[in-house]
């Protein structure tokens, strides 16, 4: 029987992946610090490429997942293909991208008090939605985050057979 990966194990694997991505992320920040939207889009491209490549690879796991002995599969136990891995990866960055746009618009429209207030409320809502995106795993039988549910995937303990 397949054992579902714990939230703690998934989170630790994610932290390892973030540490691995730290160097390219710092380079992006240094090169593009004056262009916040391009900075975020570049960051998103690097991260999406990383997660897409590893989730659709033979190991079906990022380096962080491999170190913690977990991997990602479809609910029907089949391998995740490149297209699904890409869609799954990009979905995780939709809300942060929306938040970045709201931050940039807030700076651009700083003289428009009503619009700044609306954008501030939007940013709070985005943060809350982002939290819900991941916290849903605490209440899901299969410990699925929202992107897992959207794309019919699950993270399980063990190594690929």
For 120-142, write each residue's pLDDT tens digit. 899 899 999 989 999 999 999 99
Residues recorded for the chain: 161
Q: How many domains does the chain have?
A: 1
Task: Please say if the pLDDT value at position 1 is more than 70.
Answer: no
Distance CA 142, CA 117 (A): 39
For the ranges 20-24, 36-40, 52-56, 115-119, which has the lowest average pLDDT?
36-40
At residue 140, φ and ψ (nearest 5 deg) are: -90, 135
Distance CA 79, CA 76 (A): 9
Give residue 93's pLDDT: 83
Residue 33 falls inside a structural domain: yes
Using alpha carbons, list the distances in angstroms from residue 71 to 22, 87, 116, 123.
22, 17, 42, 32
Residue 2 falls inside a structural domain: no
Give residue 33's pLDDT: 77
Residue 148 falls inside a structural domain: yes
Average pLDDT of the segment spanning 8-23: 95
Average pLDDT of the segment spanning 58-78: 95
**Residue written as tokens 């897409």?**
52
The DSSP letter of residue 2 is P
| CB-CB contact of 122 with 149 (8 Å) | no
Residue 55 falls inside a structural domain: yes
| CB-CB contact of 50 with 17 (8 Å) | yes
Range of the domain at 125: 7-157
Instruction: List, in sequence order, every residue forming a beta bridge with 157; answer none if it has no partner.
Output: 70
Task: Please say if the pLDDT value at position 69 is more than 60.
Answer: yes
Residue 20 falls inside a structural domain: yes
* Share of residues in the chain with pLDDT > 70 (%): 99
Give residue 96's pLDDT: 82
Work out the burial of residue 107: count CB atoms within 10 Å of its CB; fewer than 13 is exposed, 13-18 middle, 19 or more buried: exposed
Residue 1 falls inside a structural domain: no
Summarised one tens digit per residue, pLDDT across range 97-108 is: 888 888 888 888
């Amino acid at each position: 029987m397949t054992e579902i990966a714990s939230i703690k194990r998934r989170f630790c694997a994610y932290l390892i992946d973030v540490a691995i991505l730290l160097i390219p992320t710092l380079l992006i920040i240094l090169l593009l610090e004056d262009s916040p939207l391009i900075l975020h889009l570049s960051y998103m491209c690097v991260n999406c490429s990383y997660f897409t490549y590893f989730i659709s690879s033979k190991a079906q796991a990022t380096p962080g997942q491999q170190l913690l002995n977990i991997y990602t599969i479809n609910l029907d136990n089949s391998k995740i293909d490149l297209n699904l891995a890409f869609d799954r990866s990009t979905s995780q960055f939709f809300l942060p991208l929306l938040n970045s746009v709201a931050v940039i618009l807030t700076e651009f429209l700083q003289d428009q008090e009503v619009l700044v207030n609306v954008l501030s409320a939007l940013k709070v809502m985005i943060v809350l939605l982002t939290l819900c995106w991941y916290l849903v795993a605490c209440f899901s039988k299969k410990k699925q985050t929202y992107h897992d549910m959207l794309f019919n995937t699950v993270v399980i303990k063990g190594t690929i057979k």
